[in-house]
Amino acid sequence: MAVSLHTTIRLDVEVGGVVANCPDNEYKVLFEGAEDIFGPAVAVERSITGTLHVHRLMDGSNPVVFDDHHFTLKLTRAELVTLTADVGRTMYFMPHYRDEGAAWATYRFIVLLESMTGVRGINAMQEHFLATIYLRDNSDGSV
C-alpha cells in the first residue's frame, strides 16, 4: 500500500489482530476536529533574584519536539465504552494519514490517551456520540 488519507485513526493497546502490525481499533475522525500540536520541552522559571532561566530539552544541538494530537471522533456506544476504559493508558496510534502496508513502522506511534472531553450524543436514540480525545506523544515509552 501507499500513504493515503483515511477517515479513521487506529488506536489500541495491542497490534496485529486485524491488520498485521497495526492497532486493531479504528475510530471515525471529523477532520475539522483534528489538530497536531507540536511543542518543544521548555521550562521557564525565575531565580530568587529575578533572573529568567530557560531550560530546553535538547538532542545534541536540536531541540526535542513532541507531537501531541487532538481529535474529534464519531463513536458508537461500544466504541465510547472501550475508549473511556482506555483513558490514561499508553497505546499504539496510527493517524489518519498513514500507510498500513510495508511502511507501517513509519506511521505507528506510542501515545498516552490523556483525556476524553465533550462527550455528547448526536442522535435521539443515543447510538452515536462525538468526543474529543487528547493524545500525548510518548515516543520514548512502551505499551
* Model pLDDT for residues 95-130, shown as the tens digit of each residue: 877 776 666 777 788 899 999 998 999 888 888 999
Select, from the ranges 3-7, 60-64, 87-91, the one with the highest average predicted confidence (pLDDT).
87-91
* pLDDT of res. 57: 87
Residue 56 lies in a domain: no
Q: How many helices (H) and strands (E) does the chain have?
A: 2, 12
Q: 27-56 pLDDT, tens per residue?
A: 888 876 666 777 788 889 999 999 999 988
* pLDDT of res. 47: 93
Q: Which of 97, 111, 138, 105 is nearest to 22 (CA)?
A: 105
Residue 53 lies in a domain: no
Residue 60 lies in a domain: no
Residue 54 lies in a domain: no
Give the Cα separation of 119 and 80 in Å (integer).
9
Q: 76-92 burial string, b = 16+ CB within 10 Å, else e?
A: eeebbeebeebeeebbb
* pLDDT of res. 32: 67
Residue 84 lies in a domain: yes
Percentage of the chain beyond pLDDT 70 is 86
Number of domains in the chain: 1
Residue 117 lies in a domain: yes
Q: What is the mean pLDDT of residues 21-31?
A: 80
- C-alpha cell, 55: 531550560
- The CATH number covering residue 25 comes to 2.40.10
Residue 142 lies in a domain: no
| Backbone torsion region of residue 47, taken as left when φ is above 0, otherwise alpha when ψ lies between -120 and 50, otherwise beta | beta
Percentage of the chain beyond pLDDT 90 is 27
pTM of the predicted protein model = 0.76
Residue 124 lies in a domain: yes
Domain that holds residue 126: 4-39+67-137
* pLDDT of res. 34: 66
